[in-house]
Chains A and B, each alone.
Chain A
Amino acid sequence: MDMGSISPELLLASLMVAATPILLAALGELVVERAGVLNLGVEGMMITGAICGFAVAVNSGSPAFGFVAAAAGGALLALLFALLTQFALANQVASGLALTLFGLGLSSLLGQGYVGIKPPPVAKLDIPLLGDIPFLGRVLFSHDLMVYLGLALVGLIWSMLKYSRAGLILRAVGENHDAAHALGYKVVRIRVAAILFGGACAGLGGAYISLIRVPQWTEGMTAGAGWIALALVVFASWKAGRVLLGAWLFGGVTVLQLNLQAASVQFPLSTFGWMFFGAPLIYLIHLKLQRSRISWRAIAFVTAISATGLGYALVMRGAFTPFKVEYLSMSPYLITILVLVIMAGDKSRAPASLGRIFHASQ
């Protein structure tokens, strides 16, 4: 297996880039969910942001205007969600799905004249001294502004939620909207503001894909990034710092599979065996973490599967097959499912009013 063609320096640098769109979208959704609203329309807002940003950047020649327009477009779509869920008191799951279907249609309509066009390039900040550090300079300090905006947003949201009064009120609204209402906080107003912020962040994330990551416009180009961002919030237990970790994990997986596609390396068949060897063990660890009693039957089951996997791995040692692009492309989604499975036990951190309809009856 020839992995030599993949440089770790480049891999880590592009990981930062690949992580940024889902990081931005997930941070926005984090704030929305901490306010007690479940907006499943992230994918729709992202793709709308992607085309709004792209169109404005192409027409104005300025990527900065593009990003502003993307944020505005995402927020505008989020406003529809806010109207539905906060004023028409519609079911949030259904409204979120509607937002995604609507956003996908809207974006492909808006994007008709923009297929095959190159957007204006976005300058990279080459930070003078730091950028010259041998390995780290390339990995950390030679990106565009949006990467740093994403990182700054992590710190900002973390400190706001943890230390500021506004953050406390936001969390109060998310944990118990009736109590917050009784205390005189404007529940609906605060939630609408959070939803708009989430939309703007998702829009920025989408524009990052169409303006920097790819950079061009194709229909449905976000390809599930919005849903991965939603999963990321669960993975992060609604904490900003963990969102960053999760985004890097997914960025890493995406970049790695793209590199494997390009490098056309050979895939060792024994990997399947190792997967079957490892998965049951991870399952045991999961049970242990949940402090549930582990039955003898489970142990026998796990041992049997693990042993089969190990046997397969040992027999197939040295057998290779080329990676198939399609199977590699599945990996980000499969990893998302895996992460959801591992993290699902920790639901205690979810805002208590998440997804519930607030109606102040007097």
Chain B
Amino acid sequence: MLKLEKRPQPSRLWTWVTPLLAVVITMLAGGALFAALGKDPVEAIATIFWQPLFGEFAFYYRPQLLIKGAPLILIAIGLSLGFRAGIWNIGAEGQYIVGALTGAGVGLAFYPTESVLVFPLMVLAGALGGWAWAMIPAVLKLRFGTNEILVSLMLVYVAEQLLAAMALGPMKNPEGMGFPGSRNLRQYESAHNAELITGTGMHWGVVAAFIAVIFAYVLLTRHSLGYHIRLTGQAPRAARFAGVRPARLVLVCLGTAGALAGLAGMFEVSGPAGQVSIDFNVGYGFTAIIVAFLGRLHPLGILLAGLLMALTYIGGEIAQSNMGLPAAAIQLFQGMLLFFLLAVDVLTNYRIRFMSREVA
């Protein structure tokens, strides 16, 4: 008979093995799924994980890895701080949208002034926008004790409506022949988040993502605030006795997550996406939740997980056009990954013992 025995401490080995195990199981289950859809499973998996990196057109897809990975990593780094402390901000999608709106709003307000100051101002505005959107659940939680999960999620739907209102109203391109969507920021040099090195996909958002990883790593391992975050997650009572102020932690964690998500949105709207449009957001804020867990809430893990997730996005697109694999199948594939990760995670915290039933 199987029995679970709680480990005194989470196993260090399994902490890092389980994400890999989850990826392997997801590949197997995903292969079965693709086979059920009538596609060759081996080819499908190879298309998703191999083609973008080493395939014939890899020179085109490799830069995409950074472009798709950067927002995921930026958002996931912010989320991981909160998740570690038991603060569940799941409305990153909304903060991402609002950051994009404020960032683009500043850029559009200055159009057509050419100045080196425009882009830094947009970055600032994007971060502030995301931060402010995240402060709503934070302040409501502190002042009234509302649940931050539900409030932050509700604000995603509000932000989506706000995005539609902006794309159709105040931010609509006056020279756009009545089509919805703002001016294209890629054609406005001062506001364009251009590639820093041509052909690499490296833009300011990627730089920001790497800085965020380093910043989070230092924070968590070398700074007392990071220590407080970890302590609160592992032993909330002990943290309170140690003088950790939970209110400050809520503000810092939600604020950082919001600001980073806002930055991600701003870099996206001024670079790869180019304009504020109704379908601007593609669910990075939700996928980043998977990235954060898959990366074990650890900055370096998140970096790797973010790139892996970006790979499934790109590979998914290739599989979609080459093999006719439905886009929803990729979405399901990503969802399965989190499922299997949570399932195999039992090995991190528990030992499995095979016991013969004892006679009482």
Name A residues whose Cβ lies closer than 8 Å to a Cβ of B. 40, 80, 83-84, 88-91, 93-95, 97-98, 101-106, 108-109, 112, 219, 223-224, 227-228, 230-231, 234, 286, 324, 326-327, 329-330, 333-334, 336-337, 340-341, 344-345, 347, 359, 361
Contact pattern, B 150-172, Cβ under 8 Å of A = 1, otherwise 0: 11011101100110110011000
Q: Are B339 and A80 in contact (CB under 8 A)?
A: yes
Contacts of B331 in A (CB 8 A): 101, 104-105, 108-109
CA A83 to CA B327, docked complex, whole Å: 27
| Interface membership of B149, Cβ < 8 A | yes
Q: Are A333 and B169 in contact (CB under 8 A)?
A: no
A-B contact sample (15 more), CB < 8 A, given A101-B331, A334-B154? A84-B342, A89-B350, A97-B90, A98-B335, A101-B290, A103-B335, A104-B335, A105-B328, A105-B329, A105-B333, A109-B331, A112-B328, A224-B154, A228-B154, A359-B6
| Pick from B5, B162, B350: contact of A326, CB under 8 Å | B162
Contacts of B144 in A (CB 8 A): 286, 341, 344-345
Identify the interface centre among A101, A227, A333: most chain B CB within 10 Å of its CB.
A101
Name B residues whose Cβ lies closer than 8 Å to a Cβ of A. 4-6, 88, 90, 140, 144-147, 149-151, 153-155, 157-158, 161-162, 164-165, 168-169, 286, 289-290, 293, 326-329, 331-336, 338-339, 342-346, 349-350
Contacts of B90 in A (CB 8 A): 97
Contacts of B332 in A (CB 8 A): 102, 105-106, 109
The secondary-structure label for the interface of chain B is helix
Q: Which 7 A-B pairs have the closest CB atoms?
A: A105-B332, A102-B335, A105-B331, A326-B165, A108-B328, A109-B328, A90-B342
Contacts of A83 in B (CB 8 A): 343
CA A193 to CA B18, docked complex, whole Å: 29
Q: Are B158 and A109 in contact (CB under 8 A)?
A: no
Tell whether A101 pairs with B289 under 8 Å between CB atoms, given A90-B345, A112-B326, A329-B161.
yes
In the assembled complex, the CB of A272 is this many whole angstroms from the nearest CB of chain B, namely 16
Q: Of all chain A residues, which has the CB nearest B293? A: A94
CA A151 to CA B80, docked complex, whole Å: 42
CA A334 to CA B333, docked complex, whole Å: 32
CA A150 to CA B50, docked complex, whole Å: 50
Contacts of B165 in A (CB 8 A): 324, 326-327
The secondary-structure label for the interface of chain A is helix
Q: Of all chain B residues, which has the CB nearest A102? A: B335
Q: Are A98 and B147 in contact (CB under 8 A)?
A: no
Q: Are A224 and B157 in contact (CB under 8 A)?
A: yes
CA A347 to CA B146, docked complex, whole Å: 10
13 inter-chain pairs at a CB distance below 8 angstroms, sorted by A residue, are: A97-B90, A104-B331, A105-B333, A105-B334, A108-B327, A109-B329, A227-B154, A228-B154, A324-B169, A329-B161, A330-B158, A340-B151, A345-B144
Tell whether A344 pairs with B154 under 8 Å between CB atoms, given A101-B289, A102-B339, A109-B329.
no
Q: Are A98 and B154 in contact (CB under 8 A)?
A: no
In the assembled complex, the CB of B334 is this many whole angstroms from the nearest CB of chain A, namely 7
Q: Of all chain A residues, which has the CB nearest B163? A: A326
Contacts of B349 in A (CB 8 A): 89
Contacts of B155 in A (CB 8 A): 333, 337
Q: Of all chain A residues, which has the CB nearest B343? A: A88
Q: Of all chain A residues, which has the CB nearest B153? A: A227
Identify the interface centre among A80, A83, A106, A361: most chain B CB within 10 Å of its CB.
A106
Contacts of A223 in B (CB 8 A): 157
